[in-house]
């Protein structure tokens, strides 16, 4: 039997600077990677220049900083973009990064109509799970529509939106929720495209055909495989019955995947290698539901930033499966299986009911509150099951005895740290770029951009003009902030319950909180904060819900707070303890600022605790700053964490 060609193989990567990331991309491509997946840093994702106050400590940490056309040209130096398939995980600033990519292609002398790749551009899931939104929903949806209307003719091989269920699962979504919430996003986007009149009716099928998905695959790989098959069935049904798409090729579920990072553990991290391989089976075993592109996380992502060797290992996993095994020699292995068909039907029917519920609320935009609360509740249930031992996690709540891992005993601790000099070097490069450009051209380009935004003209031509004129990421985003305003998404913590009220550890926690509250003369007031640009709020939300259940009075104001705002809230709310969540690697810089401000405000007696992806090598430095407790992903017992926090008072 003829072997099927393998899927597109990527690694999600980018760090420090465009130059360093370019070198990494060339290395990975030389090792057999067949596409690129660009990770951008948080200032780029949230529309700030590298020298903005909100960017402090965040530059180059979780991805590559792209401030202007110079950075984009450097990122793809020696890599012809018209021949590359590039995925960009970018949402609020997706139109801008696509404009920079197109401008870079034009400067390379490439054919823009040949560009292939994907912009994630799924802003609804940002409101629900990842937090890199900027603009209100209606304006964000308008930007998505503009990108779709532009690319369908000008960049016809580009996927302008990659509807992303991946982060929904990371935020706690069940398989049914992951299917339903994602399909509802697709419905919202396609309805908006039709209503806009920006795409001619005869080209609407092409729009449907360019909708792609980015899914998650967890450790329950049989159920996850069935989830994908249910996705395939429902997408085919929706595109045919709701949108009248007749050509089967336009009704295909085209999806890429990164397997589950939520399940990667800090304890016994070598176990993650097995987890990643099993999860990959979910999206490769079934030919009729096989992924078009796969990027695997590295085994050490719960520790810190992966090194080139770690990314190579993830790539080799894909290459061994596709080249050494006989997987690609056979048709679908599961067609006709009554077990699989029953599970697929169960998931599909559950998703249909959830879709009906969201449609009854008015669609995805109006149902953001409902979906957010549902995710927080589902995630709380998952954590409760891990704490109770109902959900087994090897090395965490069972089989915890372990030898020392040789993978983490080297001088680097088993992961890469971004050079602290990288941020200032990027700022220096940005300042030099600003001095080199024509100010009049920049001013005119920004005026054209704002006019397009105000007059409902397609935003893409003006954005490409901005890219060529030398406009920066922050300037583009702030021009649109002036027109569209900014948005604060719901936190989802109201009305949720997290704990098993009958659990002995929870009863002891409640008793302790009650006793401490009597000593303080009222309920313990706890500020839960997310400083910096890190929008991954799942952990903070679960702490807030559990603390409230335990009797704390919780002040939780959501994501993206400045150090000034956190200290002001601690002062104005009269809190007894401050709990901070930082997952982006910017903990040293942000906590140094916060602790100094707390002392200046006379609040240095209030204990500050922090949780996040914090290496052991940074722990002592944080404690010396005055941080009272440091928690990392291995600390999964929320009752114990909150009991220790209560003991600080």
Check 530, 549, 587, 631 and give the catalytic one.
530
CA 159 to CA 441: how far, in whole Å? 30
Check 41, 71, 534, 593 and give the catalytic one.
534
DSSP secondary structure of 73-107 = HHHTTTS-GGG-EEEEE--TTHHHHHHHHHHHHHH
Is 167 annotated as catalytic? Answer: yes
* Helix 338-360 vs helix 368-388: crossing angle, to nearest 10: 140
List Cα–Cα distances, 456 to 138, 142, 155, 513, in angstroms: 12, 9, 21, 54
- Of the candidates 45, 15, 244, 208, the one whose C-alpha atom is nearest the C-alpha of residue 126 is 45
414: left (phi over 0), alpha (psi -120 to 50) or beta: left
Answer for the pair 57, 9: CB distance below 8 angstroms, yes or no: no
Quick one: 457 exposed, middle or buried, by C-beta within 10 A (0-12, 13-18, 19+)? middle
Answer for the pair 214, 166: CB distance below 8 angstroms, yes or no: yes
The backbone torsions φ and ψ at residue 531, rounded to the nearest 5 degrees and listed phi first, read: -80, 160
Check 536, 556, 587, 593 and give the catalytic one.
536
List Cα–Cα distances, 467 to 36, 82, 398, 437, in angstroms: 22, 18, 53, 12
Is 534 annotated as catalytic? Answer: yes
CA 622 to CA 620: how far, in whole Å? 5
Answer for the pair 640, 505: CB distance below 8 angstroms, yes or no: yes
Which SS3 state, helix, strand or coil, does residue 10 take? Answer: strand
Check 12, 255, 556, 631 and give the catalytic one.
12
CA 303 to CA 417: how far, in whole Å? 10
Check 166, 213, 255, 631 and give the catalytic one.
166
List the structure tokens of 30: 């030389």
- Estimate to the nearest angstrom the gap between the alpha carbon of 17 and the chain centroid: 20
Residue where the block lists tokens 């919430």 = 181
CA 595 to CA 586: how far, in whole Å? 14
List the structure tokens of 109: 């002398």
Is 468 annotated as catalytic? Answer: no
Is 107 annotated as catalytic? Answer: no
Check 15, 61, 139, 167 and give the catalytic one.
167
Answer for the pair 355, 183: CB distance below 8 angstroms, yes or no: yes
Active site residues: 12, 166-167, 530, 534, 536
């Amino acid at each position: 039997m003829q072997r099927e060609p393998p899927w597109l193989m990527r690694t999600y990567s980018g760090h420090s600077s465009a130059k360093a990331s370019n070198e990494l991309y060339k290395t990975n491509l030389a090792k057999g990677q067949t596409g690129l997946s660009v990770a951008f840093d948080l200032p780029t994702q949230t529309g700030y220049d590298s020298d903005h106050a909100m960017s402090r400590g965040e530059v180059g940490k979780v991805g590559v900083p792209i401030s202007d056309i110079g950075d984009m040209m450097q990122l793809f130096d020696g890599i012809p973009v018209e021949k590359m398939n590039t995925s960009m995980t970018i949402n609020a600033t997706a139109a801008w990064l696509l404009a920079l990519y197109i401008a870079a292609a034009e400067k390379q002398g490439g054919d823009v109509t040949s560009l292939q790749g994907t912009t994630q551009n799924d802003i609804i899931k940002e409101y629900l799970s990842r937090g890199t939104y900027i603009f209100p929903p209606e304006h964000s949806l308008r930007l998505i529509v503009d990108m779709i209307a532009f690319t369908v003719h000008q960049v016809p091989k580009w996927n302008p939106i990659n509807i992303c269920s991946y982060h929904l699962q990371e935020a706690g979504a069940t398989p049914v929720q992951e299917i339903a919430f994602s399909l509802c996003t697709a419905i919202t986007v396609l309805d908006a495209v039709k209503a806009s009149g920006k795409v001619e009716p005869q080209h609407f099928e092409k729009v449907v055909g360019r909708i792609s998905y980015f899914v998650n695959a967890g450790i329950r790989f049989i159920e996850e495989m069935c989830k994908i098959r249910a996705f395939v069935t429902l997408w085919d049904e929706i595109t045919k019955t709701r949108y009248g798409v007749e050509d089967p090729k336009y009704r295909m579920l085209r999806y890429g995947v990164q397997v589950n990072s939520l399940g990667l553990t800090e304890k016994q991290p070598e176990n993650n290698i097995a987890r990643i391989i099993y999860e990959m089976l979910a999206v490769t075993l079934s030919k009729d539901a096989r992924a078009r592109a796969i990027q695997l996380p590295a085994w050490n992502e719960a520790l810190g930033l992966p090194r080139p060797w770690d990314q190579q290992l993830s790539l080799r996993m894909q290459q061994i499966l596709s080249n050494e095994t006989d997987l690609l020699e056979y048709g679908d292995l599961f067609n006709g299986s009554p077990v699989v068909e029953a599970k697929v039907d169960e998931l599909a029917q559950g998703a249909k009911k959830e879709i009906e519920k969201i449609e009854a609320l008015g669609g995805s935009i109006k149902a953001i509150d409902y979906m957010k609360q549902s995710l927080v509740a589902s995630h709380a249930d998952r954590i409760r099951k891990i704490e109770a031992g109902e959900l087994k996690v090897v090395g965490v709540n069972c089989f915890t005895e372990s030898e020392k891992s040789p993978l983490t005993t080297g001088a680097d601790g088993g992961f890469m740290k971004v050079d602290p000099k990288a941020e200032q070097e990027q700022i220096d490069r940005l300042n030099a770029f600003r001095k080199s450009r024509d100010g009049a051209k920049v001013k005119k380009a920004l005026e054209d951009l704002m006019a397009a935004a105000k007059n409902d003209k397609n935003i893409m031509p003006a954005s490409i003009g901005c890219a060529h004129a030398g406009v920066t990421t922050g300037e583009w985003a702030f021009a649109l902030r002036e027109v569209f305003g900014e948005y604060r998404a719901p936190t989802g913590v109201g009305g949720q319950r997290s704990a098993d009220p009958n659990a002995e550890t929870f009863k002891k926690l409640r008793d302790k909180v009650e006793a401490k509250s009597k000593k303080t003369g009222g309920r313990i007031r706890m500020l839960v904060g997310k400083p910096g640009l890190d929008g991954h709020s799942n952990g903070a939300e679960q702490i807030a819900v559990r603390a409230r259940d335990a009797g704390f009075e919780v002040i939780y104001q959501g994501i993206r707070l400045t150090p000034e705002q956190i200290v002001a809230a601690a002062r104005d709310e009269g809190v007894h303890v401050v709990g901070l969540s930082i997952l982006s690697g910017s903990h040293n810089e942000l906590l140094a600022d916060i602790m100094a401000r707390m002392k200046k405000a006379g609040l240095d007696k209030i204990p500050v605790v922090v949780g996040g992806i914090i290496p052991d090598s940074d722990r002592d430095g944080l404690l010396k700053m005055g941080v009272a407790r440091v928690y990392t992903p291995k600390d999964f017992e929320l009752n114990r964490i909150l009991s220790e926090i209560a003991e600080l008072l």
